[in-house]
Structure 1
Amino acid sequence: MLIIEFADLFMAPDDHKPPQSPALERGARILDLVARSKGFLSLSDLSRELRIARSSVHALCHTLVDLELLIRRTDQTFQLGPHVMRWSNAFTRQSDVATEFAAIWDQETELPGATITLTVQDGTEVVYIAARNSKGIRPSMEFRVGMRLPAAFTATGKAFLSHLSDYEIRRLFVQGIPEARTSRSVRTIDDLLLELRDVRRDGFSCDEEQVAEGMVCFGATVLDSRNRPIAGIAVSLSMDAEAIGDRTSIIANVRRMASRLSHRMGADVSASGEAGTPAR
C-alpha cells in the first residue's frame, strides 16, 4: 500500500513560515502519525504523541472520519481511510522520477564541470534514463539515455546493490562478475561485497575509474513512497586534483540531490536516515 507523507502535502516547504491553517496542520500530523504507526492508535495515544488536547484530537478525528481519511475501528482506534488511496493513486500517476530529476538538476550549481546522471536497475545492469553531460567531459565518457552499464562497476549500480543482502547479490551474479572495463573494475563477488559493505556504512557509493579511466563517480539511491530504491543518481567528474579535491562537498551534494528527489517521490527520508542509505 502506498503511503504518502501527509505533512509534506499540507505544509509549506519553508519550515520557518507559520502554518496558514493550524487545524489543517494538526489534521495532517494526525494522518502522518497514523500512517507511521505499526499499531492502531486511540484518541489518547494521538493526544499524547502529538501533544494536542484530547478534545481537539476528538474534533479533528471526527472530521477526518467524515472525509473518509480515517476509519474508526470497533475498538475505538483509528486506521487510514479509503480516501487516502485515491490520493495515493493520483500521486503515483502524476509522479515521474525522470521529470522530477529534470526539475531539480539545474538548481544544482555547486559542481561546475560535473556530469549528473539518473539510472534504473535492470538485473545486473543499470539503464540511464536521464543525463546532463558536462561540456568539458571527454566524448568517450559521455552518458546517453538508454545506455546500459554493469551495475557492479557503476556508482548508481553499487548504490542499488547495497540494498540487497549478500545472499541476494550472490544469486544475482550467479554467472559471475561481468568482464572488466578497466584495470580498476571489481573482479570477484567477494570484492564486490566488501565494497557494498562500505556503501551501506557510508551512505554513498563510489566508482573510481571502474567504468572509464580518468573518471570518478559518486552515487546514491532515490527512494519511493515505500522507501525502496527506484532510481540512482550520480555525479561524475574527471580524476584531476582540482575537480575532486573536496570530496566531502561532492558527496554531500549527491546525497542532497538524492534526498530531494526521494522527497518528491514520496519517500519518508527521515525514516531511512537519509536517502541513499539502506535501512538495516
Structure 2
Amino acid sequence: MASQRSKKKAVPETANRYQVKSLEKALLILELMIDEGRDLSITEIGQRLGYGKGTIHRILGTLRDRKFVRQYPATKLYGLGVRTLTIGTPSKKENFLRKSMVPFLRELHLQCRETVNAAVNEYNQIRYIFRLESEEMLRISTPAGARFPVHCSATGKIFLSYLSNEDIKRIHGGKNTLKKMTDRSIGTIAELINAVETVRKKGVAYDDEEALNGVYCVAAPILNAKGECLASISISTPKNRITEEKSDQFAKMVMATARQISDSLDAS
C-alpha cells in the first residue's frame, strides 16, 4: 500500500521555493489588466485566472489601498491605478492619463461649448493627446498628435511654469531669441520668463494668437500627488468669440476641471 507521503504532489524542480503565492496572484491580476487594456470585474478576473472571488476581493482591496488599481463607482469595475504611472511604459501612462481625464473633459466641453484639449510635454514641444471639438460652425480644430513649441502655447507655458528659470534657459540652448509662430508670439527668453512668472502666480496660462492667428486659448495643469505636472488641459476658441468676461469664465472652468482631474488621480 502506497504511503500518504508518496501521494503528495511533487514540487517541480524549476519552481521557486521562495515564491510568495499572494504576491504572485496580485501580479497576475495586474498583468491581466495590462494585457486586456480595459476595466475588469471580480467575476471576470476569477474566470480568467481561476481564483475565488474572496481571494480576488482581498487582493484588489490591498492593491486599491496602495493605488495600483482603482474601482470605478458607476460600473464597480476595476482598472489600473495612478501608481502604475510610475512604473508603466510611456504609452501605458498616456492611456491611463487620457482615460482618467475624459469624463471630466466631456463635462468641461458641455460647459464651455468650445474645443477642449489635453496635451503632454514631449521634447520641448506640446503634443495633443485628446480633443473634443466645438459644435459651432466656426471652431478650432487641432488634431490629436499635433505639436506646438512650448513658448507660444498656453499648454506649453503651463509646463514651463513647473521648471526653474535656469531650466527654461537651458532647454532653449542658452539662446535669447525664440522662433515666432505669429506676430504675437513671445520672441525672447526674458519675455518668456516674465510670462511664466505670471502663470506661476495665477495657476492658469493664456495664448492670445501666439501659436495660431485667430486662436485664443486658456490652460491649466494636471498634477500628481507630488505636485508634478503630468499634463495640461485647455479651452480653445476663435479670437472673435472671446470677451474679457468669457476669458475669465473659461479660466475658472479649466482650473476647476484640472483640480478635479488631479484630485481623482490622487484618489485613484
Offset at residue 178 of structure 1 (A): 4.6
Query: Is the contact between residue 237 and residue 243 of structure 1 (CA under 8 Å) also seen in structure 2?
Result: no
Structure 1 vs Structure 2: percent identity of aligned residues? Answer: 22
User: What TM-score do you get using the length of structure 1 for normalisation?
Assistant: 0.60
Give the letter aligned to residue 206 of structure 2.
C
Where does residue 9 of structure 1 map in the other structure?
Answer: none
> 1:53-112, CA deviations, whole angstroms, 9 ceiling, x for partnerless residues?
xxxxxxxxxxxxxx9xxxxxxxxxxxxxxx689723332349811112211222222212
Name stretches of at least 5 consecutive residues in structure 2 with no aligned partner.
1-57, 70-80, 86-92
Distance 2:242 2:219 in 1: 20
Where does residue 164 of structure 2 map in the other structure?
Answer: 165
Aligned partner of residue 117 in structure 2, secondary structure:
strand
Offset at residue 203 of structure 1 (A): 1.2
Query: Is the contact between residue 137 and residue 238 of structure 1 (CA under 8 Å) also seen in structure 2?
Result: no
Distance 2:244 2:137 in 1: 14
Offset at residue 240 of structure 1 (A): 2.1
> 1:122-153, CA deviations, whole angstroms, 9 ceiling, x for partnerless residues?
121011100111133657x4111111111111
Cα–Cα, structure 1 residues 242 and 180, in superposed 2: closer, same or farther, change >3 Å?
closer
Offset at residue 258 of structure 1 (A): 0.5
CA RMSD of aligned residues (A): 2.6
Aligned partner of residue 216 in structure 2, secondary structure:
strand
Where does residue 112 of structure 2 map in the other structure?
Answer: 111
Cα–Cα, structure 1 residues 170 and 137, in superposed 2: closer, same or farther, change >3 Å?
farther
1:156 aligns with 2:155: yes
Name stretches of at least 5 consecutive residues in structure 1 with no aligned partner.
1-66, 68-82, 269-280
1:238 aligns with 2:217: no
Aligned positions of 1:125-204 closer than 5 A: 125-136=125-136, 138=138, 141-174=140-173, 176=175, 178-204=178-204
Q: How many residues align?
A: 185
Aligned positions of 1:3-152 closer than 5 A: 87-90=66-69, 91-92=81-82, 93=84, 96-108=96-108, 109-112=110-113, 114-136=114-136, 138=138, 141-152=140-151
Offset at residue 241 of structure 1 (A): 5.1
Distance 2:193 2:164 in 1: 9
Instruction: List structure 1 segments (4+ residues) > 4 angstroms apart after TM superposition.
Output: 83-86, 241-244
- Between Structure 1 and Structure 2, which shows a larger proportion of helix residues? 2
